[in-house]
Structure 1
């Protein structure tokens, strides 16, 4: 029996020695990456080797990060680079790929052949051709070039930056304006305009000059046309472009408001949302329209009120996210500048409860808009009885306590002044409401 135990122990020791010798052997054949295959910056195996004008090869990601940081010298030689355009080092890449294949038994995966990014020279050449096609009104050539440009832009973030830095937005705006000038409409022209507009949204935000040119009367009419009767994609792109225009140039709001069908199209985009981005863009455009100093501002608000925008905004606010809530409240605040808008809000049974709920629940901006709207609804207008019903309803849903809390935690001066006035108005009506005597619940059993 003792000999059997000794044999078992001897077998265990032998197995341990075998395992140790195997580990040592594994350590002896541990793979070492050749130094010429490592990036001098990251010291990792290069996946996309490129060579600089200094003759040193780096991994593209590492050297582009170096250049984007504002450095114009070679990290190894410290010499000023004659060109900032890295050139693919195909020989080193093939050598690295061959080495990966030879060592795949060690778990090394072959690096894929990277797509060569577009160069600034190629971008400039393509933009020149788009400009020429726009000036010659060559719809077919322009559309093909824009489609190719979109594909390259979506291929990588680096390509997108290259296109944006070379003034693509201004070129596309000029082409869009050129094809929008003629009053005649056909399918081929609409197709090229839709492609240009789609490409423009990839270049946002645009420069000041590009925004101004995009806001020309002919371009605005085309975008409103797409917003009214276009497909989902063109409606979305039109909303994004219009938001870009009106957010930076208030003068364009007047021209936009005078185009027939724009109010109905924006309203429809909020009522029948395509995507959150399109909804928010529409709300921003509406906000600028109802808060502008346009002479026909009251007429614009009246048109939106008659379409039922107040009820739509209140319904949207019930379960909206932060960004949408801020924009919807901003629009509602602008609409309540008119008596017609205030009456529509007062007639909506959900308006006051929703506004009180948004206080201190979403953001500082949402709270600011909510207080402003509540104050406008509570303040008496042409009739001294206008705000009475709102005051009673606001008290019932806890507006008095929330406004007091807001004043305690602090807010902006304008919001503080409106909240103070609202509290004073509410305080005058507190005694008129029927209060519940605590003695009525003296026999109620507590759940704890």
Structure 2
């Protein structure tokens, strides 16, 4: 038994050393993950001392395994995925941190006769873990929002190019090797999906292509000779035939029946993907089973696999192969005609005037629009959008909810945004935002964010009266609703004319409340919006009235780098207007955390900290000059 305990302790020590050796964390929040590995390493002396007296440490072993899994994922996962799924990943980080804290708290160190020095180290780790919830960097909110905006935006404007440059720099995807790593990570995700990539992978694939095209166009890879452009590498880790020098087609891209590269991949009812011509030939021969699984097909309808087709095209481009094109046909297939007929039937039901038919049609269109890009285009071309817009003003709340959510799903397609706005949807969406059910209000807020990605619509939406109900939802919505409202408000307030509207709608007190809520789940969003509002006189005045200085000073002292940066930016605006805010910040002890931010913060955080320190220096000099003049006048009157 003693030998088993010793072996258990040794296995834990080995695991800690394995964790400590993990490095090169990808994406954002690197420091926190490095700190997590470092904290584990500090526990090695504890494990050494209790090697022969170890007791119930199963929970500590479990926590070790969870930490190793999380840290390895951070080094091997795709960077775009890590940013898009930031909330889920941060939840996992908190879960692992809590596991470690609970495991250490469950050990009775008094009975283990360990040294005071080791006890001190354990207490240090526990203290750091307790404070981790306050100190942890939230994932890069700006990158998250910009990635989602890029997914919805198809134009090649200067603004989009600037966003692409920022993302390529932040995600460290400026060189050929960076793009290669990301594409390999995407390939692993596709393989792990069982051949049925979902919308998340479709989004990542599209975003990776946009960043790759930007890097290629800008010739940013300094490892290449001048004038030579990047290419996206193969998705396969062993993609070149050593004998022939030709790329080996990944299994995922081959039709399971012909084993050839698919030109027009389609999905059957069992979820398997085949080349269209092959599966249609199989079905025409009278077969009603899936060739690969032998399962009975409950439907002979096939659905285009747009995601896989896009991945195949990227792989071909990366390997210098002409992308396969599906055979042209002057007339649509029977399957396509059936899909169009279904959409047209639903549009007729929307126009029927029968509430029950309108409800069922709006519900089905909502679900169809959620499935894929092809459906979104087909629904818009069938003329559904104007009828959905009319349903936004119906008194039937359940029809409202399906109509606004259908418009939300349709708006994902950038070509549909203009159609939605030109159909007069914005006032109707604002009506739902103000009077609908909570779910409808939240989806209306998300729709306004989706539309406001187009700069010219920010003004239209702001002028429609959307901002006050968004502020109300920010105050009283569910957690998801608050995030939808915050995201929409952030995007709208980028337009200068909407900042005053937001300040007058009472957004600042609500944002200040979110900064002090237990758990701090909305601190990132609240600070980002306040930083935008602070550039407007009405916003600055409202922030000053809200007595924000003590909260901002505390955030500069303890928050994440991005939040410190935004808090400092807000204070710069406040203190430039009124010296009393400088005096208050000085009394709150801001100098030391500002000095740390000026040394260790983000680039923008360093600049804002330097500005504040400069303001404080001038303020102190003015106080000293005023004090000196007062003393001089006092001495002069005394001698007379």
Out of 60, 74, 78, the residue aligned to residue 259 of structure 2 is 78
Q: In the alignment, what sits opposite 1:178?
A: 387
* Alpha carbons 1:395, 1:430 under 8 Å: kept: no
Distance in 1 between the 2:258 and 2:394 partners? 59
* Alpha carbons 1:85, 1:119 under 8 Å: kept: yes
Residues 1:194 and 2:401 are matched in the alignment: yes
Out of 310, 325, 328, the residue aligned to residue 508 of structure 2 is 310
Distance verdict in 2 for CA 1:92–1:245, change over 3 Å = closer
Which structure exhibits the higher relative contact order, with contacts defined as CA atoms closer than 8 Å and separated by 6 or more residues?
A: 2
| Local SS of the residue matching 2:424 | helix
Q: TM-score, normalised by structure 2?
A: 0.45
- Report the CA distance between 1:136 and its aligned residue: 6.8
Out of 332, 342, 346, the residue aligned to residue 130 of structure 1 is 346
Out of 553, 566, 580, the residue aligned to residue 356 of structure 1 is 553
Distance in 1 between the 2:581 and 2:506 partners? 20
Q: In the alignment, what sits opposite 2:475?
A: 271
Distance verdict in 2 for CA 1:318–1:422, change over 3 Å = same
* Alpha carbons 2:552, 2:571 under 8 Å: kept: yes
Residue-by-residue CA offset, 1:163-210 (whole Å, 9 max, x unaligned): 314233662695243343599x5446x654431322444x37712111
Q: In the alignment, what sits opposite 1:346?
A: 544
Distance in 2 between the 1:132 and 1:427 partners? 71
Out of 252, 255, 280, the residue aligned to residue 457 of structure 2 is 252
* Alpha carbons 1:169, 1:200 under 8 Å: kept: no
| Local SS of the residue matching 1:78 | coil
Gaps of 5+ in 1: 1-60, 98-112, 154-158, 381-385, 434-448
Distance in 1 between the 2:513 and 2:608 partners? 25
* Alpha carbons 1:143, 1:192 under 8 Å: kept: yes
Q: In the alignment, what sits opposite 1:285?
A: 488
* Alpha carbons 2:385, 2:419 under 8 Å: kept: no
Residue-by-residue CA offset, 1:88-131 (whole Å, 9 max, x unaligned): 598799x999xxxxxxxxxxxxxxx9987974346554323234
Distance in 2 between the 1:240 and 1:177 partners? 19
Distance in 2 between the 1:177 and 1:318 partners? 43
Distance in 1 between the 2:499 and 2:253 partners? 55
| Local SS of the residue matching 1:167 | helix
The number of residues matched between the two structures is: 330
Gaps of 5+ in 2: 1-189, 198-249, 271-286, 304-334, 625-640
| Local SS of the residue matching 2:379 | helix
* Alpha carbons 1:170, 1:210 under 8 Å: kept: no
Distance in 1 between the 2:354 and 2:420 partners? 20
| Local SS of the residue matching 1:319 | coil
Distance in 2 between the 1:117 and 1:237 partners? 34
Residues 1:406 and 2:597 are matched in the alignment: yes
Distance in 2 between the 1:389 and 1:219 partners? 46
Distance verdict in 2 for CA 1:194–1:256, change over 3 Å = same
Out of 229, 232, 239, the residue aligned to residue 438 of structure 2 is 232
* Alpha carbons 1:322, 1:363 under 8 Å: kept: no
Q: In the alignment, what sits opposite 1:145?
A: 361
Distance verdict in 2 for CA 1:266–1:129, change over 3 Å = same
Instruction: Spell out the pairing of 1:350-429 with structure 2 (5 A cutoff).
Output: 351-359=548-556, 361-380=558-577, 386=578, 388-412=579-603, 414-429=604-619
Larger-Rg structure: 1
Q: In the alignment, what sits opposite 1:243?
A: 449
* Alpha carbons 2:352, 2:358 under 8 Å: kept: no
* Alpha carbons 1:124, 1:166 under 8 Å: kept: no
Distance in 1 between the 2:426 and 2:620 partners? 52
Residue-by-residue CA offset, 1:196-248 (whole Å, 9 max, x unaligned): 322444x37712111222223620011000111112121111111111111x1
Q: In the alignment, what sits opposite 1:65?
A: 194
Distance in 1 between the 2:546 and 2:377 partners? 44
* Alpha carbons 1:355, 1:370 under 8 Å: kept: yes
Distance in 2 between the 1:176 and 1:70 partners? 40
| Local SS of the residue matching 1:84 | strand
Distance verdict in 2 for CA 1:186–1:197, change over 3 Å = closer
- Report the CA distance between 1:280 and its aligned residue: 1.8
Q: In the alignment, what sits opposite 1:331?
A: 529
Distance verdict in 2 for CA 1:390–1:170, change over 3 Å = farther
| Local SS of the residue matching 2:522 | helix
Q: TM-score, normalised by structure 1?
A: 0.61
- Report the CA distance between 1:269 and its aligned residue: 0.8
Distance in 2 between the 1:62 and 1:415 partners? 41
- Report the CA distance between 1:251 and its aligned residue: 0.8
- Report the CA distance between 1:411 and its aligned residue: 2.0
- Report the CA distance between 1:141 and its aligned residue: 3.9
Distance in 2 between the 1:91 and 1:339 partners? 68
Distance in 2 between the 1:241 and 1:363 partners? 30
- Report the CA distance between 1:372 and its aligned residue: 1.0
Q: In the alignment, what sits opposite 2:424?
A: 218
Q: In the alignment, what sits opposite 2:143?
A: none
Q: In the alignment, what sits opposite 2:39?
A: none
Instruction: Spell out the pairing of 1:18-29 with structure 2 (5 A cutoff).
Output: none
Distance verdict in 2 for CA 1:306–1:145, change over 3 Å = closer
Out of 365, 374, 396, the residue aligned to residue 166 of structure 1 is 374
Distance in 2 between the 1:92 and 1:117 partners? 10
